[in-house]
Amino acid sequence: MDVGFGAPLRNLEDSCYDPWMESCKHVFQISGLKIRDKKRVLVQRIRQLGGKYIGGSVYQQASTHLIIPQVLSSEKFLAACAAGKWVVTPEYVLDSFKNGSWLAEGPYEVSISTDATSSFYPVRQWREKVASGRLGGAFQGWRVLLKVQEPARRAMFKRLLKAGKAQVYNCPPPSPASVTHVMAKPITEASEYHNAPCYPVSHIVQHLFGSNLVDMKFDITDDHPAKKTKTESVVDVDFSKLESELRDYVIKQEGRPRMCFLEFLGYHDPHSPQTQATETDYSNVASMIECGLFIEALDSIRNAVFPGLVPPAPNLVSLLEYAQQGHATSFFLRNLRKVMYNLLITNPPWMAHCKVRKYFSQVLQCPRCKAGLWPFLETAISYCLSTGVSCHPLPGPALPTLLQFHSDLLAFVLKLFQGELHSVNAGDCVLPERRGVSFAPASGSLLYGTFWTVWERSTLLSQAVKQLTRLLLQAFIEDCVHRDEKQKLRLADNLLDLLSVLVEFWCQQHFKLNQTLVEKGLKDLAEHFAVISQDVSPVVLAELVVRITSTRLKLVLADGIFRSLCCRNGFTVGDEPMSFKKMVLSYLPALGNLAQCPSGARLRTGPTPHSGASQGAGCSADCSPVNETSLGKENVPKGLNRFNAAGETLLHRACKRNQVETVLQILVLPGTDINVKDHAGWTPLHEACNHGSAACVEILLQHRPVPILDNLVGGVSPLHDAVLNGHMDIAKMLLEHAGSVLLQQTDGNGHTALDLTSETTQREELLHSAHVGDSALRNFSTEVLNVPLLEAASSLLANLIFTYRREQGLPHHGDNLSITLVRALETYSPQKVTSGWTDRRVVRLVEDAETLLELGRGGYLGQVSQAVRECKEENTLFLMEILEDFKYRGEMLLADL
């Protein structure tokens, strides 16, 4: 059976819609068992005996047995009773496992002791009647007009009544005489319908148990028979402790070191005793250099480098200058490289006196220009790229030995910077046996002095960093064009590692003091890279992202490049902060749009990226869907950010009232969430469909990203909402937009939208609209027009999703904090849980958890276009596997409840 999107809660591993379920005689649900380990044991025993388990918090018709420790006033218990299902204690499963096969259920049927000698079996009378065929359910023959306004409560009572085989109507049926019961909450004078008796909803429980309610001690009020459901969030609940725990988790996650270099653990520790030379005479080395005996001078230095003892800086500078002239042999260059690395190992600048750092800064600069380390590095990189840009003329054309020499210089400086980053990380967590170790302050590090002036340290995107990104991009382009030649130098990889190190270093220095500054710095870097790479092939950019070692850098560049691809191909995505919710609801639909872009667009390797700052400013404005500063205050609707008591936003309220102009104003604002939910889980599209706001529905369907059409709230989709309320024009609009896939969705009672329509003409109209929608989708989305672009975008998005999970630490199965958060989200809406929270990072984590849970329920995958789902290319298949893995993780979180 096709589960479809927006399916009900699922079990640990298998869908409750498993076709084998229908033939299985032991399909279990569990209620009232709060100890997670006991519940897990029961689930394992059920499966080992060949049974099935259905997870989730609502009753499922496919179940045959309900396990409860005692009689409960829960939805599952009342529904199982009405349906005549077996309701047994946990011992039934445990004893059956000991027996090796299923035992008879009778001795384990749940009961209530009425006195010392007798017991009452509350479910038995209905179970026996159903088993004998006398009744289909406890409410057989009832035709109920259910007048409960709150959607989640209405859906719950509807499930109860349907379990007992009642026919339930949300609106008056065609024939008034067919109604036998009107059930209302609250009861008013207007509740009666054509003389049909009106009952409170508590009549359901009264009918099931009659006078035995006294023994069962049920509190029969209009707030029963079942426990409060997820969307009943009018009761104030204190989530401050959860907020505090999540904030601690987020801070710990953000503060952990991203890049660790274990090779530095063995470097010289100045506090550990080692053999050291007290003095060495270097005067003869200077004389050799003056006489042009560079090989002999290098040999003298090579054996005279010890901890605390270094050769004079002018000697090394002279040897480097000789190497740059192009006359040195490859043997000399290799020995010079060994000397430099030996110097770094024995006298690491991050664990030594400031004089050593000054020494390295004197050595690592252009021997002629002496302008500092960055011009020295820039010259080495430019020489490897054969651009001709250098601080002073170098031998040309590029000699193979000199190319390797400059590449080795870059690798050496990279190793030095990695050591400085290592010292920053190790300084926060020094091993107990090395408590005496002291590290040089990061503010005086060579890395800081190389890439940031004193006035630039509050911004990540300094002039040197900008130039490094341009050189990196050029190196990657050449690496793809001349892969065999350039790969030997590892220039592109070294530059990418260098950018990763400096990004991590800068973020580690600032995140504890100013998280907003770090976020802005990363955003600026992503936007700058997107601007300078706009003429570069997406294939090259996707490969670049794959090879990034820093999760932080990979995340921001993948995001910036993906958004740039969308912008370059004629559509935009939201500029709200990165979140898992954004990737699922905004980027996945955008992937389908990229697949339909004209073939061959933007796939050339491209010229050297633009370098003008003015170009960056212009493109940045173009790439943003809306310029915030251009939106005058008079264009911002009043009350935009206010929630009412039901959790409704201004967008919800405008869709209710069909206020088209207000909806348009809201949708053009940056960061607008078109799928925002109120406390009950309803989206603006739900409200527009429910209230007949056809113009608003049309606007919402034209928006990008599109609203979620398969979202079920209490078993009700937007299409169900439109049909139930008689808005056929909206129903046809939805079907023409999404096709017949919407007709496959069932509500909480297993009804499709067609089942809710009684008139033949209406059914034909809906089927025709679905056919029109299918034809349009078939013509648009079943064929990938641009496979290379789709593959590049899929690779970017796969890396983005996977890296986001590592970087942000999404909730995972078995963790106590995750279980607490998931339980809160299963009881209350995300808006209710985070009400009053001020830390945006913590709120985003809750939204990510809710998105993960929705994936586990089978929702949101409809955001992936058919063309993308059917694509068999490597990167796209890998992306689909990642989404399936996240769906499974969501299922496992639900199974912990």
pLDDT digits (tens, 9 = 90+) for 709-720: 877 777 788 888
Contacts of 831 (CB under 8 A, 6+ apart): 643, 647, 677, 678, 679
How far is it, in rounded angstroms, from Cα 447 to Cα 460? 13
Place of tokens 């439109």: 722
Backbone torsions φ then ψ of 181, nearest 5 degrees: -140, 140
Whether omega before 197 lies within 30 degrees of 0, making that bond cis, reads no
How far is it, in rounded angstroms, from Cα 845 to Cα 809? 9
Three-class DSSP category at 181: strand
Distances (CA, A) of 652 to 333, 584, 657, 827: 70, 22, 9, 22
Burial level of 313, CB count in 10 A (0-12/13-18/19+)? middle
Residue 392: per-residue pLDDT: 64
The closest of 7, 10, 1 to 890, measured between CA atoms, is: 10
pLDDT digits (tens, 9 = 90+) for 54-67: 877 788 888 899 99
Distances (CA, A) of 624 to 629, 637, 662, 664: 12, 21, 22, 18
Contacts of 567 (CB under 8 A, 6+ apart): 622, 623
Integer distance in angstroms from the first to the last C-alpha of the chain?
26
Long-range contacts of 338-341 (CB under 8 A, 24+ apart): 338/302, 339/298, 339/301, 339/302, 339/305, 340/316, 340/412, 341/412, 341/415
Range of weakest confidence among 8-12, 313-317, 538-542: 8-12
pLDDT digits (tens, 9 = 90+) for 823-843: 788 777 787 788 788 888 888
Six-digit token string for 773 = 């929608």
Strand order in the sheet with 143-148: 167-169, 143-148, 181-185, 198-200
Six-digit token string for 636 = 């911002």
Residue 199: CB atoms within 10 A of its CB come to 17
- Count of all residues that appear for the chain in the document: 897
Six-digit token string for 682 = 């309803």
C-alpha 373: how far from its chain's center? 40
- The percentage of the chain sitting over the pLDDT mark of 70, rounded to a whole number, equals 77
pTM score: 0.60
Of these ranges, 212-226, 727-741, 790-804, the one predicted with the greatest mean pLDDT is 790-804
Three-class DSSP category at 617: helix
Please give the DSSP secondary-structure letter assigned to residue 435.
T
Strand partners, 716: 713
Residue 800: per-residue pLDDT: 92
Q: What is the crossing angle of helices 787-808 and 551-568, to 10°?
A: 150
How far is it, in rounded angstroms, from Cα 575 to Cα 582? 10
Long-range contacts of 274-281 (CB under 8 A, 24+ apart): 274/307, 275/306, 276/306, 276/307, 276/308, 276/309, 277/304, 277/306, 277/309, 279/309, 280/304, 280/306, 280/309
764, amino acid identity: E
C-alpha 590: how far from its chain's center? 16
Q: What residue spans of 607-727 are helical by DSSP H?
A: 613-623, 650-656, 660-667, 684-691, 694-702, 718-724
Residue 217: CB atoms within 10 A of its CB come to 9
Three-class DSSP category at 146: strand
CB of 159 closer than 8 Å to CB of 191:
no
pLDDT digits (tens, 9 = 90+) for 117-146: 556 677 888 888 888 888 889 888 888 888
The DSSP element (H or E) to which 185 belongs, if any, is strand 181-185
Six-digit token string for 552 = 């932080």
Pairing of strands 198-200, 27-30: unpaired
CB of 690 closer than 8 Å to CB of 721:
yes
What average pLDDT does range 755-769 have in this prediction?
Answer: 82
What average pLDDT does range 73-79 have in this prediction?
Answer: 85
Residue 194: CB atoms within 10 A of its CB come to 12
Burial level of 227, CB count in 10 A (0-12/13-18/19+)? middle
Six-digit token string for 436 = 């005496």
Of these ranges, 176-190, 255-269, 542-556, the one predicted with the greatest mean pLDDT is 542-556
Of these ranges, 216-220, 269-273, 560-564, the one predicted with the greatest mean pLDDT is 560-564
Strand partners, 167: 143
Residue 388: per-residue pLDDT: 66
Is residue 852 over pLDDT 70?
A: yes
The DSSP element (H or E) to which 473 belongs, if any, is helix 463-481
Please give the DSSP secondary-structure letter assigned to residue 87.
E
The DSSP element (H or E) to which 887 belongs, if any, is helix 874-895
- What is the pLDDT confidence band of residue 74, given thresholds at 50, 70 and 90? confident
Strand partners, 120: 112
Three-class DSSP category at 139: coil
CB of 856 closer than 8 Å to CB of 893:
yes
Count Cα atoms within 13 angstroms, Cβ side, for 468.
27
Six-digit token string for 357 = 């750092």
Is residue 78 over pLDDT 80?
A: yes
Of these ranges, 112-121, 390-399, 663-672, 867-876, the one predicted with the greatest mean pLDDT is 867-876
Q: What is the crossing angle of helices 840-856 and 874-895, to 10°?
A: 100
Q: Domains (ranges, CATH) in the chain?
A: 143-216 (3.40.50.10190), 263-271+280-460 (no CATH)
- The percentage of the chain sitting over the pLDDT mark of 90, rounded to a whole number, equals 8
pLDDT digits (tens, 9 = 90+) for 239-274: 778 888 888 888 887 777 777 776 665 554 444 444
* Between 525 and 573, the higher pLDDT residue: 525
How far is it, in rounded angstroms, from Cα 717 to Cα 726? 14
Angle (CA) 370 373 376, round 5°: 70
Is residue 342 over pLDDT 80?
A: yes
C-alpha 476: how far from its chain's center? 29
Q: What residue spans of 547-659 are helical by DSSP H?
A: 551-568, 580-582, 588-595, 613-623, 650-656
Please give the DSSP secondary-structure letter assigned to residue 628.
G
Burial code (b: 16+ CB inside 10 Å, e: under 16) for 260-296 equals: eeeebeebbebeeeeeeeeeeebeebeebbeeeebee
Residue 22: per-residue pLDDT: 47
* Between 546 and 115, the higher pLDDT residue: 546
The DSSP element (H or E) to which 148 belongs, if any, is strand 143-148
Six-digit token string for 817 = 């904090």
Residue 490: CB atoms within 10 A of its CB come to 17
CB of 501 closer than 8 Å to CB of 421:
yes
Q: Furthest-apart CA pair in the chain: how many Å?
A: 118
What average pLDDT does range 82-104 have in this prediction?
Answer: 91
The closest of 153, 190, 348 to 267, measured between CA atoms, is: 348
Burial code (b: 16+ CB inside 10 Å, e: under 16) for 162-173 equals: bbbbbbbbbeee
Residue 630: per-residue pLDDT: 39
- What is the pLDDT confidence band of residue 193, given thresholds at 50, 70 and 90? low
